[in-house]
Chain A
Amino acid sequence: MRTLDRKLGLLSSLPLAVVLVVSFLAPLVVVAIFSVMPQKVFSLTNMPDFSSYAVFFDQGYYKSLLWSLGMALVSTVILLVVCWPLSYAMAKVFKKFTLVLTIAVVMSLFVSENIRLFGWVLTLMKGGLIEGHIRAWTGVGFDSPLYGVPIIVFGLVYVYLPFMLFPLAQGIAMVPDDTRQAAYDLGATRWQVLWQIEVPLAAPGIVVGSLLSFVLAAGALAESKILGGQAVIAIADDIETAFTFGQNWPLGSALSMILIVIIGGLALFGVSKVDLDAIMGRKR
């Protein structure tokens, strides 16, 4: 049975493995090679000169990267705080409402991200859903909060909420009720139970949720474009511009490589810390 398992495992992994090698790993290799090509070439047959990486520092692209990482970090922290009570309730308090909530949140995921962000523009703009109605009722309007760094972070929190909520709920569900009560019985305060029992035991969920939100937010483009009005440039925005208006594939590739290395490193590190079989509910 063992040898059969091995053979079948390898065979059944093939279709997906082929898809990923051909259309994920291979393109990454192409990006890596393009990133060391001279500026503004469109073929891989040039002498590498690594000039794009120099441009990254010389022309201030590192600022966009720092902005993206910073906003991603802030939104991840906000998401942790915002999602913890709700995830807790989904895992331990709500009964049928957990299902309702899950369906509601998953359904929102199926709506194209840019339609939802556009909806926030309509909601928050001057003369939008909120300001327009308040002005109509009170006669006093206010400036739109759109187009700034805070609203970009808001957008990131909004869009990536499900990616924090579900892993976190899964993680909290893995904390046995008895261990929490035992700690409490042994004299721990609510706060001590949170930090010494719940957080360490829910760590796999916290790691997965934080990684997903951070990584996705760091590579996000639409929030800064649609809500932020280019108040700051996100690194994904720079990458897009380098490819489109700049017609500079090597620069775009170099910027991509930097982002990929950071994100890939984090993702690999996080994934290696987590027992996937346990978090996905393996029985044996």
Chain B
Amino acid sequence: MDSSALLRLRGVVKKFGDFTALKGVDLDIVEGEFFTIVGPSGSGKSTLIRLLVGMDELTEGSIWLRDGRIDETPANLRPTCMVFQSLALFPHMTVGQNIEFPLKLRKEAPAARRARAEELLDLLRLPRSYYDKRISQCSGGERQRVALARALAFDPEILFFDEPLSALDYRLRKTLEKELKDLHARTGKTFVYITHSLEEAMVMSDRIAIMKEGHFEQIAVADEIYSAPVSRFVAEFMGEVNLFGLRADDAGLITSDILKIRAGVAVDNLDPGGHGLLMVRPEYVRFAGGERAFDFTLTGTLHGEYALGSRIQYEIETTGGMVTVEKLREDRLNASEGEQVTIGFDSAVTHFIREAT
């Protein structure tokens, strides 16, 4: 057991009647990191955070904070705190009263509370005049900052976030993502963040955990999850991807139903007799032309062309299904729909996902 971790989960199971929402989850969160749990709705991430905060009881397993077991501790006695999806600001209190709420519960003197609240307003770049504002007078982004200030006033060991940005519009969300990352750096606190948006996770996190049907599919730094997913689920969850089945016979010769493979090409992790999926992201697929020979090639008909801002996406219909290719605008392909095209890529830009035999 890694005892240097701040928060440790061991074999955490949560059942609701017959339904098992969490199927024995292990997790270590290091002090000071920005850790994000990503998963589609229904993957169990909300259930997990409710357990971590103490709003629900676990069925089996244990949760440890430093050296103490906390899963039996009620939420109000845990030194952790959460920013809610709805923010849960108290509508009957002013901005200042909201921020001071945890301090007031600890019976701190009014002057000290006020000073701390103003410090936090400064930290979150809210004008001090907001101290006496009503919550209803604040905009969406301002409320977000008040909720953060209130959570920080509590001075938690770990700050949990339950998709707090999901209700905001795109631009504000982008701004706040960066601010959150910045705030994390400045406060040095441990942040545990839950979201269904991978983009959000990639921008902010040190490490990401991908959750699926009540267990972690992969826990790694953001880059690794993008370039080396452990399963089809993670690969597909992390954005557009092309996957091709590969097989190696007992002599180690690699074959594919779809891809033409250059002689002598080796694939990491593909042992003789094994099989799996070869993954290549759309931006690494090239259109064949000229002298260039690729490790893997295939042909198909150009099916569609879509403008994605700075890039252009092509869909190519092949015998193995649709393949997606992305090009920068200046590298636009000079071909029309229905035309035959040959595409290819090298093994250096691929990642092989081994499947159990």
Contacts and interface: CB of A to CB of B under 8 A. Distances in A.
Interface of A: 176, 178-179, 181-189, 192, 196-197, 200-201, 203
Contacts of B348: none
B336 to A, nearest CB: 51
Contacts of A192: 105
A183 B101 contact: yes
25 contacts: A178-B85, A179-B89, A181-B88, A182-B82, A182-B88, A182-B90, A183-B90, A184-B55, A184-B76, A185-B54, A185-B55, A185-B81, A186-B105, A186-B150, A186-B151, A186-B154, A187-B106, A187-B154, A188-B105, A189-B76, A192-B105, A196-B101, A201-B90, A201-B91, A203-B92
Interface of B: 53-55, 74-77, 81-82, 84-92, 101-102, 105-106, 150-151, 154
Contact of B92 (A181, A184, A188, A200): A200
A179 B92 CA distance: 11
B90 A184 contact: no
Nearest to A182: B88
Contacts of B82: 182, 185
A178 B86 contact: yes
Contacts of A187: 76-77, 102, 105-106, 154
A187 B55 CA distance: 12
A134 to B, nearest CB: 44
B92 A185 contact: no
A186 B102 contact: yes
Contacts of B74: 184
B76 A201 contact: no
A184 B86 contact: no
Contact of B76 (A178, A179, A185, A197): A185
Max chain B Cβ within 10 angstroms of own Cβ: one of A178, A187, A197: A187
Contacts of A201: 90-92
A192 B106 CA distance: 12
Contact of B86 (A176, A196, A197, A203): A176
A68 B88 CA distance: 43
Instruction: Give the residue among A178, A185, A188, A201 with the most B Cβ atoms within 10 A.
Output: A185
Contacts of B54: 185
B9 to A, nearest CB: 19
Nearest to A178: B88
Contact of A179 (B55, B75, B90, B154): B90
Q: Which of A179, A186, A196: most chain B Cβ within 10 A? A: A186
B84 A182 contact: yes
Contact of B53 (A179, A185, A203): A185
Given A183-B101, A186-B76, A200-B92, 5 more contacts: A179-B88, A184-B74, A184-B76, A185-B53, A186-B102
A133 to B, nearest CB: 43
B86 A185 contact: no
A186 B86 contact: no
Contacts of A185: 53-55, 75-76, 81-82
